[in-house]
Structure formats: C-alpha cells, structure tokens
C-alpha cells in the first residue's frame, strides 16, 4: 500500500508509526514532504489482522526479532519458553518439587508480562518468593 499526494504528485512518507492495534484497528499518519499535507490510515479489524498475520511491522524502527515472535504473541495460550540455561538451573531443584518451582516461576513471569524465562527472571522470582 502506498500513498500519493495528488496535488503534488509526490509519494507520502510515514510521519507517525502506528501503536499496537487498539480495538482491532491500526492508525498511521502519512505526510507529503512537499506540501506538508497529512492523512491518516485507519484499518478495520480484518485489515489489521492481515498485517498481523503476515508478521510484519508497519512503520518505525523494526523491533528486535525474537524466535517464534508471531506465534508466541498470537497464540491465545502459549507455554512460556525457557532458555537452556534456565532449564539447566531448574534441573538442580529436587525432582519432587520441580514442577511446583516451575509453576511458581512461570506464574511470576506471566504476572510481570515476560514472554520467556531466563536466569534473571528466575532470580527475580526467587527474590520475590523469599522477600
């Protein structure tokens, strides 16, 4: 999709990148570099979904890509991913209580809005439990 300023016959460029979709809609502002004319692109939920399903970012700097970023962000219910180091550390917890420890750490991580568990998250969770 491209925007053209009809008066200037000049392509418009992105002036304000969209925030994460709100109520199923994305809004982005484009501007004509010659005359300064601005237009807003407002998507309906299906257009928003199309962009989300392609796994592409609209406007602005591209976020640092993480493995399975789209899948994890889009699954209604996804298990948290643990780093190898975190799994190795968890393996030191005695087996009978390991599932409980895993669940407690995951509960903490979800509460903090983390998408994955690494050693730093484990330290935070441990400090919270003992704090």
Partner 1 sequence: MKSYREIAGDGGSDVLGQVAERSARLRARMAPVATTLAVMSGKGGVGKSVVSANLAAALATRARRVGVLDADLNGPCLARMLGVEGRRLKLGDDGIVPAEGPLGVKVVSMDLLLPESGSALAWRAPAAQNQFAWRGMLEATALAEFAGDTAWGELDFLLIDLPPGAERFADLHDLLPACDKALVVTTPSGLAIASVRRSVILARKLDARLLGAVENMAGLFAADGPAQALGVPLLGSIPFDPRIAQCADRGLPFVSAHPDAPAARAFAALADEIERRCTAEAAR
Q: Which pairs count as long-range contacts for 123-128, CB under 8 Å and 24+ apart, including other chains?
A: none
CA distance 14 to 106: 39
Q: Is 129 in the site for partner 1 (CB under 8 A)?
A: no
By rule CB under 8 A, what count of residues binds partner 1?
Answer: 49
The least distance separating partner 1 from the CB of residue 5, rounded to whole angstroms, comes to 10
String of DSSP letters for 27-40: EEEEEETTT--EEE
User: What are the residues binding partner 1 (CB under 8 A)?
Assistant: 1-4, 6, 9, 11-14, 17, 21, 24-25, 30, 45-46, 48-50, 52-60, 62, 67-72, 74-79, 81-84, 87, 116, 118
């Amino acid at each position: 999709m491209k925007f053209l300023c009809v008066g200037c016959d000049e392509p418009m460029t992105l002036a304000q990148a969209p925030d994460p979709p709100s109520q199923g809609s994305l809004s982005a502002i484009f501007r004509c570099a010659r005359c300064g004319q601005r237009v807003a692109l407002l998507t309906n939920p299906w257009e928003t979904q199309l962009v989300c399903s392609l796994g592409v970012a609209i406007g602005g700097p591209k976020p640092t890509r993480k493995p399975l970023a789209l899948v994890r962000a889009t699954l209604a219910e996804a298990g948290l991913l643990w780093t190898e180091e975190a799994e190795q550390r968890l393996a030191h917890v005695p087996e009978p209580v390991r599932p409980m420890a895993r669940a407690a750490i995951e509960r903490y991580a979800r509460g903090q809005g983390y998408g994955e568990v690494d050693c730093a998250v484990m330290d935070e969770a441990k400090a919270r439990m003992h704090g």
